[in-house]
Amino acid sequence: MAAAGGSNIGLRKNNEDSYYINEACGLFAIADGMGGHEHGQLASRIAVEQFANLVQGRCLESFSLAEMRGLFTRANAAIYQQQEALHSGIMGTTLTAVIIDEDTMYVGHVGDSRLYWLHEGTLTQLTMDHSYYAELVRQGTEELHIENRQKNVLLKALGPEAQVEGQFLQQTLSPGDMLLLCTDGLYNYVEHEEMQRLMQQPVLQHGVRDLLDLALTRQASDNLTAILYRHEQIDDKG
């Protein structure tokens, strides 16, 4: 197993992205916070910390989609309670989380960060964007609203509401498959074909670096974060 990650503030004053990598246990998460006065940064950190707390000294022996749903419920409650305590108005975050148990990948997702899966030469976006614009695209009406300032508004996130329903799925992985988790600050500036080419470098950290650098050369205005993972069968989690 091999994994690497990185983040850049872009042209923003604060980096409200957070990410988590536990290569030994096969846990990966990425979050993009929202909310003024550093509250977005706090929300994204709470989300990835809830995920990191799954492993306390040793890796999980087994996992299920039901447990992933429970994780998202707890993360949402923690952020919602923090929002209520701070009286901060809207405070929330995306969260895209992956747990790999041998050759099975469990995915939980809320918001518009993304998970891409590279399998047998084809790069596929596995997660659904929970945004106003993505919903317009699914309805085939995006051209009618292309100038709408609300097109990037999230329809779902962890924290703003007491309850939220995410996307949960599982997928069998083959040796050599690759994953890319990234925030919108990256994929808004890097084309699909460019992602596929850059993520396949032998040294994953070089792939992360080049993906971030390409977005930055195109004046990426948002925070941008990426995690790359190359799958090899996990025989024994310590």
Q: Where are the beta strands (DSSP E) in the chain?
A: 2-8, 17-22, 27-34, 92-93, 95-101, 104-110, 114-119, 122-125, 167-172, 178-182, 224-230
Q: Decide if 172 is inside a domain.
A: yes
Q: Of 157 and 38, which is predicted with more confidence?
A: 157
According to the model, what pLDDT value does residue 21 have? 97
Q: Decide if 98 is inside a domain.
A: yes
Q: Decide if 32 is inside a domain.
A: yes
| Residue 19: domain span | 2-230
Number of domains in the chain: 1
Q: Decide if 238 is inside a domain.
A: no
Q: Decide if 237 is inside a domain.
A: no
Q: Decide if 236 is inside a domain.
A: no
Residues 181-195 pLDDT 10s: 999 999 999 999 999
Residues 168-178 pLDDT 10s: 999 999 999 99
Please compute the mean of the pLDDT values over residues 47-51 and round it to a whole number. Answer: 95
Residues 107-160 pLDDT 10s: 999 999 999 999 999 999 999 999 888 888 888 775 655 555 566 789 999 999
CATH code of the domain covering residue 95:
3.60.40.10
Q: Decide if 219 is inside a domain.
A: yes
Q: What is the spatial distance between Cα 230 and Cα 71, in angstroms, rounded to a whole number?
A: 24
| pLDDT at residue 68 is higher than 80 | yes
